[in-house]
Structure 1
Amino acid sequence: MSETTETEITVVGMTCGHCSASVSEELSGLPGVVAVAVDLHPGEDSPVTITSEAPLDPAAVASAVAEAGYSLR
């Protein structure tokens, strides 16, 4: 079994399941990402855990979140 890396981020502005699905979809498209877990807190900051095969480029993560229409805390 290969090693994985977990990256913890906080996303601002998500309010519903569609929001978290959009963020999950964009982050899942990053190279090496194997799982995305969103802990949705509607109207508040929501923690997101990204599991990947290697450390992720923070700029790529921020760009993916922005593409979904949200921002990082």
Structure 2
Amino acid sequence: MTTFRVLGMTCSHCVGFVTEELETLPGVESVRVDLPTGMVALVTDRWIDPAAIRTAVEAAGYEVEA
């Protein structure tokens, strides 16, 4: 499991955009988002490059906290 904070999500639509992008990454089994904290948990069946995660989140229009 990989966890990180996404900045800028304010509603369920935001969660949907981020989830949709992250689900396209190879090896992602599930995505769990806690909107109030911005925390995202990825359950994967393999290691995923953090740069790929950042790119997917940015494609959804948001930012991964550094």
Shorter-chain TM-score: which interval? over 0.9
The RMSD of aligned alpha carbons is 0.7
Question: Structure 1 CA distance, aligned partners of 2:57 and 2:4?
Answer: 10
CA shift, 1:55, in A, is: 1.3
Provide structure 1 residue ranges, at least 5 long, that are not aligned to the other structure.
1-5
CA shift, 1:36, in A, is: 0.0
Determine what percentage of the aligned residue pairs are the same residue: 46
TM-score by length of 1: 0.86
Q: Secondary structure at the match of 1:66?
A: helix
Question: Structure 1 CA distance, aligned partners of 2:47 and 2:5?
Answer: 17
Q: Tell me the residue number matched to 2:58.
A: 66
Deviations 1:11-35 (A, max 9, x none): 0000000000000000000001010
Q: Secondary structure at the match of 1:65?
A: helix
TM-score by length of 2: 0.95
State the number of aligned residues.
Answer: 65
Provide structure 2 residue ranges, at least 5 long, that are not aligned to the other structure.
none
